[in-house]
Structure 1
Amino acid sequence: MAYSGIGGQAVMEGVMMKNQDHYAVAVRKTNHEIVVEKKEYKGICPNKTIKKIPFVRGVINFIDSLVLGMSTLTFSASFFEEEEEQKVKSEKKEKAEMGITIAISVLIAVAVFMMIPFYASLFFQRFIKSETVIILIESVLRIAIFIGYVLLISRMEDIHRVFMYHGAEHKCINCIEHGLELNVENVKKSSKEHKRCGTSFLFFVLIITIILTLFIRVDSRILRMVLRLAIIPVVAGISYEILRLAGRSENIIINLLSKPGLWMQRLTTAEPDEEMIEVGIASVEAVFDWKEYIKTLKEDER
């Protein structure tokens, strides 16, 4: 499988695809019309040299993903608001609201996936003296909360449809990276799992966090919590590098490391219908010349 360089995410009734500094959001409206919006996004750090520094680029990409993800979700959701609720907002206000939303989302994620497992694991200190075992219990609780959260939200109809569009996004990328013409029939035959998925990134985050927290050995509970929060950028940087390598390599060891993340994607992706696939194709074609890409692939094979 070749590396195309494009990536994306599912949104409300649509798909976002990003290629370098350009991205496109394709949304299927209630009247079945596909609306495509294409924009440029250079990210929070315009300096390309800094964005190429290993590990640092992972932190930057993580923040960019949050910002762009929230922006595209807001755009897609706007098509399904009640007319009386739709208001014209200034660009400055939209950015301010988005910043607040991202900040709140991050705080909730930290509380649920970092603080709750940490303080819950302290209960076991009454019976277990080994700090290593306590850390492992904390890690198991964190993974259980994550899987439980995904299983819970997947029961919601709207979220299940987002997971179907997530499958469409992966299938479109897999289709062209395997050198196939981008059409509904070929996309349907392609896999709904992909090694460069955000779900795999989150899995690597969980594993790297477990490994690094094993080395945090201090008596103060507050300091232990602070240090767990302090390593988040480090964890994001390492996880990104592993994910990046996985997306560009077919090495046996790398593929083996990618397996758990691909398994997790069975929870966050679902088989899309043909209309969803058409939306994914529209998003790809707005930012990526897949015909030229496939032509280059075939020339390289000769």
Structure 2
Amino acid sequence: MRYSGIGGQAVMEGVMMKNGDDYAIAVRTPDQKIVVENFVSAGLFKNKTVKNIPVIRGVVNFIESLTLGMKALTYSASFFEDEEEKKEQNEKKENFVMGLTVAFSVVLAVGIFMILPYGISLLFEKVFTSHWVIALLEGVLRLLIFLGYVAGISLMPDIKRVYMYHGAEHKCINCIENGLDLNVENVRKSSRLHKRCGTSFLLIVMLISILFFMFIQVDQGALRLILRILLIPVIAGVSYEFIRLAGRSDNPIVNIFSKPGLMLQKITTQEPQDDMIEVAIASVEAVFDWKGYVEKIRQEEV
């Protein structure tokens, strides 16, 4: 499995690509032009040693990715706002709103995908006496809620377009990592599924949480809930390590465990239109020397 080191995210009518601390956002504006802007993200945590510690680096990466993703979405959305709304914005206000948005998103996600399944599972304690059965039921409920959410929002027209740009992002990365020139024709025939995907990461979080929570055997319901919340960063860190390994390995066992995430990507990525592929290509070219990378692959294959 070739590893280019680049990653991305679909945004509103565009794609964000990141390579190290550099990232670029390409957006198809209402007048059908492609606007590309480069940024530098030093990250929220400056200590490089801490950021390289297994599991901990997963927590750091998750927080930084969430923050960067919100910034990219806000940036792309600005092209579709009224001019008066743009003039009213200022940097302090944007940062404040960004902080509130990230915090609210985390709280909402914890509430829906962690606390809600736990609360529902408590209703079955009078039916099942086994702690293991209740924990497994909670995990199944969590998976169903997550999958229902992903499938449900895919029916929204705006989200469907985001999923198409998500597909364009994956196709570009696969195109490069397969040693092909980055053009519309080659990208179009590349796969839209990729093992280093945020969708796969979230699904792995759901699956690993089942195993972790099975071992929380305390009688007090409130304490069980608190322990679940406290374990979320650990679960995120472990999940990141798996996704990191999966993105660099073709080990048959790793590939088997990657299958569920790839299957879910059939919902969260859709086949993009050619004009969407052009936007994704523009974002890649702004931060990554794909020609040098592809040439290196071809030399290694000779």
Superposition TM-score tier, normalisation by shorter sequence: over 0.9
Deviations 1:14-58 (A, max 9, x none): 000000000000000111100001000011112222111111110
Q: How does 1:184-195 map to 2 (within 5 A)?
A: 184-195=184-195
Aligned to 1:169: 169
Q: How does 1:112-151 map to 2 (within 5 A)?
A: 112-151=112-151
Q: Please tell me the residue identity of whatever aligns with 1:155.
A: L
Q: Secondary structure at the match of 2:180?
A: coil
Give ranges in structure 2 of 5+ residues lacking alignment: none
Q: Secondary structure at the match of 2:296?
A: helix
Counterpart Cα distance in 2 of 1:251 and 1:131: 34
Aligned to 1:76: 76
Return the offset for 1:300.
1.9
Return the offset for 1:88.
4.1
Moved more, 66-75 or 38-47: 38-47
Deviations 1:232-269 (A, max 9, x none): 11001100000000000011111111000000101101
Q: Please tell me the residue identity of whatever aligns with 1:13.
A: E
Q: Please tell me the residue identity of whatever aligns with 1:100.
A: L
Counterpart Cα distance in 1 of 2:46 and 2:207: 31
Q: Secondary structure at the match of 1:49?
A: helix
**RMSD between aligned residues:** 0.8
Aligned to 1:255: 255
Deviations 1:59-113 (A, max 9, x none): 0000001100000000001111133332343322211110001001111111100
Aligned to 1:290: 290
Structure 1 outlier segments of 4+, above 2 Å = 82-90
Moved more, 234-243 or 292-301: 292-301
Aligned to 1:95: 95
Q: Please tell me the residue identity of whatever aligns with 1:72.
A: A
Counterpart Cα distance in 2 of 1:88 and 1:27: 22
**2:55 is aligned with 1:55:** yes
Q: Please tell me the residue identity of whatever aligns with 1:209.
A: S
Q: Secondary structure at the match of 2:17?
A: strand
Aligned to 1:272: 272
**2:228 is aligned with 1:242:** no
Q: Please tell me the residue identity of whatever aligns with 1:42.
A: A
Question: TM-score normalised to the size of structure 2?
Answer: 0.98
Q: Secondary structure at the match of 2:47?
A: coil
Q: Please tell me the residue identity of whatever aligns with 1:43.
A: G
Q: Secondary structure at the match of 1:231?
A: helix
Q: Please tell me the residue identity of whatever aligns with 1:106.
A: V
Moved more, 83-92 or 105-114: 83-92
Return the offset for 1:215.
0.4
Counterpart Cα distance in 1 of 2:28 and 2:94: 23
Q: Secondary structure at the match of 1:71?
A: helix
Aligned to 2:36: 36
Aligned length: 302
Q: Please tell me the residue identity of whatever aligns with 1:265.
A: Q
Aligned to 1:105: 105
Give ranges in structure 1 of 5+ residues lacking alignment: none
Counterpart Cα distance in 1 of 2:237 and 2:87: 39
Counterpart Cα distance in 2 of 1:182 and 1:247: 20
Q: Please tell me the residue identity of whatever aligns with 1:65.
A: S
Deviations 1:96-152 (A, max 9, x none): 110001001111111100111000011111111111111111111100000111111
Q: Secondary structure at the match of 1:170?
A: helix
Aligned to 2:224: 224
Counterpart Cα distance in 1 of 2:87 and 2:100: 19
Counterpart Cα distance in 2 of 1:254 and 1:69: 27
